[in-house]
Structure 1
Amino acid sequence: MAGLNCRKTTCMTMLTQTVLYTDIDGRARWRDEPCLLSEGTPAARLTPLQASGGLQWRSSPVGFKSDFHCTTTPQWLVVLQGRMEIGLQDGSSRQFGSGEYFYSNDTLPVGASFDSKLHGHCSRQVGDEPLVTLFVRT
C-alpha cells in the first residue's frame, strides 16, 4: 500500500509515511519518513494528535488530468475511491489507490516564481472509476 507501510517487526511502534516535498533545487521529490506510534495501547497504537487546518472532499471524473502545479498549503491527500497518479518533473510517477495516502508539501520555494518546467507535480485519474479524494490541511 503506497503511503503506509507496516512491517511485522515494527508494526507496533512505527509506520512509514510517503511525503511529496520540494528539494533544495526547487524540484518535487518523494521520500519515506518514519511515523512513530507512541500513543494508545498495544492493541491500538496511535500517533500523537496532529493539528489540522480544515478538510476538503474532491470528486474528479474519469479522464481528469492537471497541469504541473505546486501544493499551495501542505496537506494530507487520501484516496477514497479510484486511482490517482502523481507525476514529477523528472518523469517519474507514483499511483495511489483507495485507502492509500501521502503528505503533499511540494510548495513553491520562497521568493521563486512558478516555472512549469521546474516546479511542482501533475496529477491524473487512472482507470475507469471516478476519483474521490480527501484533503486534510496542516
Structure 2
Amino acid sequence: MSPAAYCQLFYVLAAATVLGIAAAPESIQRLLTQYGARTTTAGTSNEKEGRKTNNGPLVNIISWVTSVGKVPHSWFIHFYILSVSCSVFWAAQFLSRGKILESIVRNQVRSEETSMSLNQVIIAWALMSLQGARRLYESVALLRPSPSKMFDSIF
C-alpha cells in the first residue's frame, strides 16, 4: 500500500468510528463524548439514589476503558507540544531533504498514484502547524487550571 493509501485508510477508519459512536446507544455516547466540562448529570438519578443499574457488558467494558483514560486537564498540553514538535520535524525533513521524507516520497512514487501537489502538502502542513501552535499557546497563556479530567465517568 502507498503512504497516501495508509493516510486515507486512517481517515476512513476515524470517520467510521465517529459514525459508530453517533449510532451507538445513548449510554455509550455519553461515556465517549461527555467528559470534563462537557459532563452532564442527566440520566444519573439511579446513582444519586444509590441504585445500581445493569448497563450490560458492552457499556461496562467501555466504562472501564474510559476510566483507564482519565487524565488531568493539565496533561493536555503534552499533546500540543507533540503536535508542534511533529510539525517542526516535518519542516526540517522537507527543508533538508531528510531520509524519512525521501523514503515516503519514493514509496508513493512507486505506487504511481497521483496524490497531492506540493502546494497542497505545504498548505496542509501549515494549517496543522498553526492549529497545534494555537492550541499550545492557549494552553500556556489563556487556560486556567482545572480539576476536570478526560473521561470522568458519569455512571
Normalised by the length of structure 2, the TM-score is 0.21
The structure with higher relative contact order (CA 8 Å, sep 6+) is: 2
- Please give the TM-score of this superposition, normalised by the length of structure 1: 0.23
Please state which structure has a larger fraction of its residues in strand. 1
Structure (1/2) with the larger helix percentage: 2
Larger radius of gyration: 2
